[in-house]
Amino acid sequence: MAKTPRRSTTRASKKTKYIFVVGGVMSGVGKGVSSSSVAKLLQARGLTATAIKIDPYVNVDAGTMNPTEHGECFVLKDGLETDQDMGNYERFLNVDLPANNYMTTGSVYQSVIERERNLGYGGKNVQVVPDIPLEAIRRIKKAGELAKADVVLTEVGGTVGEYENILFIEAIRMMKAELPGQVAVVMVSYMPVPGSIGEMKTKPTQHAARTLSASGVFADIIIARAPVAIDKKRKEKIAKFCNVLPENVISAPDVPSIYDIPLMFEREGLSERLCSMLKLPCKKAIDMRSWKRFVSSSRGDSDAVKIAVVGKYFSSGDFVLSDVYISVLEAIKYSAYKLGLTPEITYLSSQSFTDKKKLRELKKYDGILVPGGFGKTGVEGKLNVIEYARKQGVPYFGLCYGMQLAVLEYARNVLKLKNASTEEINPKAKELVIGVMDEQREKIAQADMGGTMRLGQYKAVLMPKTIAREAYKQAEVLERHRHRYEVNNAYVPALEAAGVIFSGTSPKGDLMEIMELSKSEHPFFVGVQFHPELQARPLNPHPLFTAFIKASYENK
Ligand code: GLN
């Protein structure tokens, strides 16, 4: 962890402006995407924009949470394990964000307590208010400094009126008071249209605005999330009861794709409203050309490419969760669009493939992807799927666990090491083809599990004349990691002799980063120890995903 600075506040640059996004009424209405879209529009007006996510839970980061609880864990370049909204910001803005830009109640308290232990408060009484909000404010200002930003956008997780995020709402109030004219608040609120009456209701939003005002904060802009567009009459009603100008009520009906949202906000004049409200040095004309080109590439009736994603974190009660692999899904889409294809992505639960008869269902798909994962649930199913992809010549892309299991499958079925396993699920197995990394052994023994995996960006060097090297078109790459286990080097010579090509390794050559099979054996069989999906961007698709999708389409 970075050392906590002694001073609890930093000075805001005079020019930096701060936009806060809070949620009204309920969660899950697209606050993260709304925030990303606002930042995107300001960027497209020529401003330097950066984005922060505040998660109100006590966990210090998102790394220890079950993905079915919290969705995907998005790893930043410098290794912090964060919320998937950080991924949206990076994808929309096409920038890498630093660890400073993600905070939780737990991480803020941790800094304050550490500073107190280091006498950083000079003997004073350290209090929940103001010291907790002040630490949040310090980080918000620091984000502006790090990015030399004209505007810092901060999304406060949860909805107004909850206990959990109240200290962050207080931080907004304090910043508004300290920096008049430099802070704007956007509330993303939900306007239900109950089926029984068929009329859009604004009352829940009025209550949310009132709750927010009870904390001393007024929204400057209200984004009206609803199944349909909000009409003039209701805009006026919200304006009257929630203290905003009617033109500051932004209509945000459901749209086919999240990438339409910035364009929709712009039609409502949102960036212009923010620029004039905060006196931002915006360009007169917005430049969304490349974004529009991307959005139109995602339309059309181009040929389909059918990809099966075989994972384990898909169900929650009776509901299917796609959020858990959101970066993977988006990465597939960007590459498909780039190739002029329509991606059809199906989530399949790995557990069902424990029964080999079920493998027949895979015939429908042009390519198979096994994403990252942990633990033993569904592993035998994944191994069966990988064996099927290898033997049937179906393009296969394995990410992290998906790579480790591809190596394991090869060891079991080609090297005939019938008892081969990964130390993660069977530490007593005789043939530990995948073993725990040396540096991890002690951490596991001490149950020191939070933020201690091999995390963040590391370099890999690529072997010439391989699928990986040809896809990347460069000799070295930087990719983001999140793992405790690795290919056991003791088995590398045998695996290589049997046909596995380790086409990417750490610069010292001691860590296997990419495995593949020769193109003469299989059209596309590639596993990577890292998470390429974390660096795939709409305007910058990931070369390995593109190679995988291309091979899948050619396999049709
Ligand atoms: N469970 C594996 C490990 O810790 C893979 C992790 C992952 O897929 N992110 O090494």
pLDDT in tens, 264-278: 999 999 999 999 999
Is residue 361 pLDDT above 70, yes or no? yes
Same domain as 227, residue 187: yes
Distance (Å) from CA 250 to ligand 1 centroid? 42
Same domain as 306, residue 279: no
The tokens of 247 are what? 């033109």
Tell me the pLDDT band of 312, cut-offs 50, 70 and 90. Answer: confident
Q: What integer pLDDT is reported at residue 322 of this predicted model?
A: 67
Give the separation between CA 348 and CA 545, rounded to whole angstroms: 19
Parallel, antiparallel, or unpaired: how do β-strands 367-370 and 396-399 relate?
Answer: parallel
Please report which helix (H) or strand (E) contains residue 397, including its range: strand 396-399
Instruction: Specify the residue with its C-alpha closest to ligand 1, atom 8.
Output: 372
Same domain as 328, residue 278: no
Q: pLDDT averaged over the chain?
A: 94
Last residue of a domain, one of 278, 293, 308: 293
Last residue of a domain, one of 247, 278, 293: 293
Interval 175-221: pLDDT, tens: 999 999 999 999 999 999 998 888 999 999 999 999 999 999 999 99
470 falls within a domain: no
Is residue 6 pLDDT above 60, yes or no? no
Helices (H), 82-224: 84-93, 105-117, 128-147, 166-178, 203-214
Spell out a b/e string for 398-433, using b for 16 or more CB atoms within 10 Å of the CB, else e: bbbbbbbbbbbbbbbbbbebeebbbbbbeeeeebbb
Spatial CB neighbours of 163, under 8 Å, sequence gap ≥ 6: none
Whichever domain contains 42, its CATH number is 3.40.50.300
**Nearest atom (ligand 1) to Cα of 453:** 4
Same domain as 163, residue 131: yes
412 falls within a domain: yes
Interval 104-156: pLDDT, tens: 999 999 999 999 999 999 999 999 999 999 999 999 999 999 999 999 999 99
Instruction: Specify the residue with its C-alpha closest to ligand 1, atom 3.
Output: 483
Q: What integer pLDDT is reported at residue 7 of this predicted model?
A: 47
Spell out a b/e string for 364-383, using b for 16 or more CB atoms within 10 Å of the CB, else e: ebbbbbbbbbbeeebbbbbb
Binding-site residues, ligand 1, Cβ < 6 A: 372-374, 400-401, 404, 424, 482-485
210 falls within a domain: yes
Is residue 433 pLDDT above 60, yes or no? yes
Query: Which residue has tokens 């609890």?
Result: 8
Distance (Å) from CA 195 to ligand 1 centroid? 45
**Nearest atom (ligand 1) to Cα of 482:** 9
Q: Per-residue pLDDT averaged across 76-93, rounded?
A: 96
Q: How many domains does the chain have?
A: 2
Domain hosting 254: range is 17-293
195 falls within a domain: yes
Distance (Å) from CA 37 to ligand 1 centroid? 32
137 falls within a domain: yes
Q: What integer pLDDT is reported at residue 5 of this predicted model?
A: 52
What's the Cα-to-Cα distance from 241 to each of 76, 210, 212, 218, 235, rounded to whole Å? 41, 9, 13, 12, 10
